[in-house]
Structure 1
Amino acid sequence: MKNRDWRSIDESDVRVRPSRGTRPRSKRRPEHADAVPALVTTVDRGRWSCAVDAQQDREVAAMRARELGRTPIVVGDRVDLVGDTSGRPGTLARIVRVAERSSVLRRTADDTDPYERVVVANAEQLVIVTALADPPPRTGFIDRCLVAAYAGGLRPLLCLTKSDLADPSELRSAYAELEVPTVVTRADRANTELAEALHGTVSALVGHSGVGKSTLVNQLVPDADQRIGAVSAVGKGRHTSVAALALPLPGGGWVVDTPGVRSFGLAHVTPEDILTAFEEFAEAAEECPRGCGHLGPPGDPGCALDSIVTEGNGSHGRLLSLRRLLASRAGIAG
């Protein structure tokens, strides 16, 4: 080359090495055949605590793998882990897969907030914890939690606490038409009925601060305080009242303790989401005028749901309960 006249050299004589930035990226991704399945138990500042399926008391700190990008991962998600899954202090695994969710409990800050917050994934039950006194029960909050449960694919369970302070009969009767299962508890007695209702399931507890939710968790999971402390020591995490936490039940199943909330926004819920839980009225709703809110007269004079009751195919009490939930979702005081 050095003996040749530079004027006789063309582009075919020059070998150009492509820059690293122009190399085509491979679309192939590792299969991670050796990944370990786990359940996300808590989330804190870019770190996830996960319980390995084969040994539920082994808490593994994990980070999200780069190939997942910004894939959201919440408490209750089923994930696959690679890397160091020993759970030893200072170790960190990677979450490489997130399974499809079977249910999602969502809420918004209020009814005008477009941003949905996923509270927990894959829960089978939503346990709505309400005190019968101190603080007094708020049926509007219960209704909104029911709406969120129906919209998210969870079975609702109403848990009435502090029955030593007030009679639960009136509140139970208010939800009889909705056929919502109810358990009644008190702090000075073993809550066997509640434990049986949660056995073998993944259940999320939701309620206002002060209703006795923490007391229930401590009764259901005797070493809850120790487990919370162990999770707090993993990675960067710490469990406080602002974070959800999944705890294994001694007899099988999981209970997810969610932070106390003041409001349950439903900006993400449509009337159709609620109607799916009322099969006897869902089909008739298709005959309603466009834009019908299904609340009945005077606001929705052409609502077809009343015809179901008239024809004897649905109860008047169920229709009133449905419309109460729809009104709650619309932010209309009952």
Structure 2
Amino acid sequence: MRHPQVEEDGGVLIRPQLFDGLAAVGRGVNLKFALQQRHHQRSRRFVIVDDEYCRLHRKKLDASFYTGKVAGNEAIVIAVSSGRCRLFREGREIDCVIPSEIAKRQRSALAVGDRVIAEPIEAALWRLKEILPRRTVLSRPDPMNPRVERLIAANIDLVVNVVSIRNPPLRPGLIDRFLIAAQRGGAQPAICVNKIDLAANREDALEPLRVYEGLQIPVVACSTKTGEGIDALRTLLSGKTSALVGHSGVGKSSILNALDATLSLATADLHKKGSGRHTTTSSTLFDLGDETYVIDTPGIREFGLWDLTPETLRESFPEFQEAAEWCRFNDCTHLHEPDCEVKRRVESGAINPARYDAYVRLAEDLRK
């Protein structure tokens, strides 16, 4: 296991391997966190958290992870800006300074939804001390540097991919990417179809999404204009921490306004060419009451997948798994090999051809 260089008096975020005590996190979670240990008043260091450390400190780590009982001033990150973040603790919001060693790689080190330890440095200002272990994470490659992971949200139960019937049109390829990112990060995926009132024929409009219902992924159709489906969406979100993600212009902020009219979030019409406008420029966590929290994320037009390999891509299509056991080759890629059971079932219709086409496109992207 490779470790990053340890920096003095700063938060080095490391990527430990998953271990038994965190089995509940789920497969493929990019777990990044720092554990701070003081040796004397004037110096401190960060401990490399690897499998051996976890074995020796399992009881302490498990208690913190599962019960949330940690020492110090724990808070949740509800917004992140340059060098600062907003925290929510004991019913109030706190302005917090991000230490320079974390701020330098802020987009890959800190996310809305993170549980952190902070300390007051003056009456209305706190300082971030420690980022606690994450249950789940949603991330993507940084568009400016694809070798760097950009965090979108942390500690989420549900990733809701918001799509629209029209304006902008439905993009199944983008849906598949969001579903893979959610599952690999340890969260449950769901799909919210907004603007259902614009559909000329409701059943025809929803037909491309039936395949996801067959995969036990919730699909909720709604309209912020008519109010249809808003109660069903509210029920889906209830008691969870969820992230709304999707293409620009699909109406994520409008949905939040429909869920809680007191928010009054800014919304905008589409450009004349039909592409969405960015009204949300950074992720923000909102408390909808009754232990229900929703993170509104900026709209995107393209979504890359972080740390995806051919092997993990195959694992991300659960409908392939049983068929793959009958392929001639154990390492069959389901692309060009003879006697591929996955391809045979695609041809027979047992596996949805649209899902297989999505797999092929993603596999081709990995080879570029």
**3-state secondary structure, aligned to 2:159:** strand
1:84 Cα shift? 5.6
Gaps of 5+ in 2: 1-40, 47-69, 267-277
Equivalences for 1:172-321 in 2 at 5 Å?
A: 172-187=209-224, 188-189=226-227, 191-225=230-264, 241-266=280-305, 268-277=307-316, 281-282=320-321, 292-294=332-334, 296=335, 299-301=336-338, 303=340, 305=342, 317-318=350-351, 320=353
CA distance in 1, matches of 2:264, 2:148: 32
Structure showing the higher strand proportion among its residues: 2
1:158 Cα shift? 0.6
CA distance in 2, matches of 1:218, 1:152: 27
Question: Percent of aligned positions with the same letter in both sequences?
Answer: 34
Cα pair distance change 1:195/1:93, threshold 3 Å? same
1:38 Cα shift? 1.1
**3-state secondary structure, aligned to 2:146:** coil
CA distance in 2, matches of 1:265, 1:326: 14
**Which residue of the partner structure matches residue 158 of structure 1?**
191
8 A Cα contact 2:79 2:87, kept in partner? yes
| Cα-Cα RMSD | 3.7
CA distance in 1, matches of 2:149, 2:340: 30
Q: Per chain length, whose mean CA-contact separation is higher, i.e. which structure has more relative contact order (CA < 8 Å, sep 6+)?
A: 1
**Which residue of the partner structure matches residue 63 of structure 1?**
97
Gaps of 5+ in 1: 1-23, 228-238
8 A Cα contact 2:253 2:280, kept in partner? no
CA distance in 2, matches of 1:36, 1:272: 41
**Structure 1 counterpart of 2:220, which letter?**
V
Cα pair distance change 1:109/1:193, threshold 3 Å? same
CA distance in 1, matches of 2:310, 2:288: 35
**Which residue of the partner structure matches residue 121 of structure 1?**
154
1:116 Cα shift? 2.0
8 A Cα contact 1:111 1:265, kept in partner? no
CA distance in 1, matches of 2:265, 2:144: 37
Please say if 1:102 is aligned against 2:135. yes
**Which residue of the partner structure matches residue 44 of structure 1?**
81
8 A Cα contact 1:150 1:273, kept in partner? no
CA distance in 1, matches of 2:144, 2:100: 34
8 A Cα contact 2:135 2:155, kept in partner? yes
CA distance in 2, matches of 1:217, 1:331: 36
1:278 Cα shift? 5.2
**Which residue of the partner structure matches residue 133 of structure 1?**
166
